[in-house]
Amino acid sequence: MRDILIRNADVVVTMDASRRELAGADVLLRGGVIAAVGPGIDAPGAEVVEARGCVVTPGLVNTHHHLYQTLTRAVPGGQDALLFGWLKTLYPIWARFGPEEMFVSAQVGLAEMALTGCSLSSDHLYLYPNGARLEDTIEAAATVGLRFHPTRGAMSISESEGGLPPDSLVEREAAILEDMIRVVDAFHDPAEGAMVRVGLAPCSPFSVSRDLMRDAALLARDKGVMLHTHLAENDEDIAYSLAKFGVRPGQYAEDLGWTGPDVWHAHCVKLDAGEIDLFARSGTGVAHCPCSNCRLGSGIAPVRAMRDARVSVGLGVDGSASNDAGNLIGEARQALLLQRVARGADAMSAREALEIATLGGAQVLGRHDCGSLSPGKRADVAIWDVSGVEAAGSWDPVAALVLCGPGRVRDLFVEGRRVVAEGQMVTIELPRIVERQNALARKLRD
Ligand SMILES: [Zn+2]
């Protein structure tokens, strides 16, 4: 692979230990890693990518998604419902999915991620109807070229047992554990620079048993993989936890082994002070999903308090049925706006939002090799053209990236390979995939 020299960027936002921002700087990519950062790098033979008029940042990190939901955006019955009602509208539609729906919707969702600056995305796939398997999404990610952390999700408590999902969408717990072992053994790569890491992710405390939560945690520790689920998403979620388990979600998680630096929970909108302290002490991470929280009316996650307590926080777009967009840089803007609604205009700066979107997400996913542009880190780089109309007249290009735009990258490199060039996907033929996706959506609708 030829070296790549990104040259003459207006600003390189390194996210290194001292958060340096380098004006008029270059970034050299060699063999999948950052070889050098700074002004005037000499790299004979390298392919030169001119970055004048651009801000260069680490690739953004998405810590929570349900890629399959790109096939159920803006579904009428789910547009205005709260979480539990929203789920009950969508479950019967998802029950008709199969491998093709999983593959194509993952391609679409990941392309959306790439175009909005994301180089590393996790995914939470918790239903496997009609022969769908986790590898449907892993294969899709390989075509798109993003670094991918799929999680083997699961639901086991159906409607007839007091849960929410229909019987056809739940699995036996023994079969779930067996498939968790299968996908970790087949696809998880613990090595530095890994393109695929698998996590274990029962859907939520209200869709699986206490036993499965505990067994998944034991299995994850045994295999050295991470744990992920939804936690404390809204008031209904807290009420359910108190009524069913007699404890708040944080206590439930702790009792079952679901805290630690190898665990990250999505949403955490309703964490109280004691739970924030628990997360800080245990190193448990949070996937903050501001657009989804707004969209479902779940509330404002206490991100300021979490960050002040040194809880690891990353950003997530959440599934495309509850956002319904998948714009990761837009999510950074939304995170900033939402904290300000709750806490005032000094609650979060544009630079802090950008840090959460990059370094914060990498930390949450246990990727100490990603999230910053320093020599030796993986060559995951986003180039943002700030010379266009969106940021015209801005005085501070780094803040403008979050406050103004553009909402899309000009170029994106993952592991030193180009995924987006001049605002277009180069790894996949996106228009054809979008057409295929729309045909699948029509089939589901009719
Ligand atoms: Zn979710």
CA of 430 to the centre of ligand 1 (A): 25
State the burial class of residue 299 (Cβ atoms within 10 Å of its Cβ: 0-12, 13-18, 19+).
middle
Query: How many angstroms separate the alpha carbon of residue 289 from the centre of ligand 1?
Result: 8
Answer whether 307's CB lies under 8 Å from 352's CB. Answer: yes
Task: Check residue 324 and give its pLDDT.
Answer: 87
Average pLDDT of every residue of the chain? 96
Q: Do 298 and 234 contact (CB within 8 A), yes or no?
A: yes
Separation of 399 CA from ligand 1 center, angstroms? 28
In tens, the pLDDT along 375-427 reads 999 999 999 999 999 999 999 999 999 999 999 999 999 999 999 999 999 99
Ligand 1 centre from 233 Cα, in Å?
Answer: 9
Residues 39-54 have a mean pLDDT of 97
In sequence order, what are the residues at sequence separation of 6 or more whose Cβ sits closer than 8 angstroms to the Cβ of residue 243? Answer: none
Q: What element of type H or E holds 73? A: none
In 10 A of CB 295, how many CB atoms? 17
Please tell me the distance between residue 32's alpha carbon and the centre of ligand 1 in angstroms: 31
State phi, psi for 152 to the nearest 5 degrees. -85, 100
Residue 43 token pair? 């790299």
Q: Are 42 and 386 in contact (CB under 8 A)?
A: no
Q: pLDDT above 90 covers what percent of the chain?
A: 93
Residue 64 CA to ligand 1 center (angstroms) comes to 6
Per-residue pLDDT at 164 exceeds 90: no
Task: Please give the model's pTM, rounded to 2 decimal places.
Answer: 0.98
Q: Please give the average per-residue pLDDT across 137-159, as a whole number.
A: 97
| Residue 82 pLDDT > 90 | no
> Beta partners for 231?
267
Give the helix ranges, DSSP H, for 80-209.
83-94, 99-115, 134-144, 173-187
**What region, left, alpha or beta, does residue 22 occupy, with left being phi > 0 and alpha being psi -120 to 50 degrees?**
beta
CB under 5 Å of ion ligand 1: residues:
318
Q: How far is the CA of 66 from the centre of ligand 1 (A)?
A: 6
pLDDT in tens, 181-238: 999 999 999 999 999 999 999 999 888 999 999 999 999 999 999 999 999 999 999 9
210/259 Cα distance (integer angstroms): 15
Q: Cα(288) to centroid of ligand 1, in Å?
A: 10
Question: With contact defined as beta carbons under 8 Å apart, do 173 and 163 qualify?
Answer: no
Spatial separation of the C-alpha atoms in residues 402 and 48, rounded to whole Å: 27
Q: What pLDDT, on the 0 to 100 scale, is given for residue 1?
A: 84
pLDDT of residue 439 exceeding 90, the answer is: yes
- Say if residue 324 is preceded by a cis peptide, omega within 30 of 0: yes
DSSP secondary structure letter of residue 164: S
Q: d(Cα 334, Cα 116) in Å, to the nearest integer?
A: 14
Spatial contact of 220 and 227, defined as CB atoms under 8 Å apart: yes
Distance CA 282, CA 134 (A): 29
Check if the beta carbon of residue 200 is closer than 8 Å to that of residue 225. Answer: yes
DSSP 202-264: ES-TTTS-HHHHHHHHHHHHHHT-EEEEEES-SHHHHHHHHHHHSS-HHHHHHHTT--STTEE
In angstroms, rounded to a whole number, what is the distance separating the alpha carbons of residues 372 and 328?
17
Ligand 1 centroid to Cα of residue 140, in Å, is 20
The sign one gets for the Cα dihedral 116, 122, 125, 130 is positive
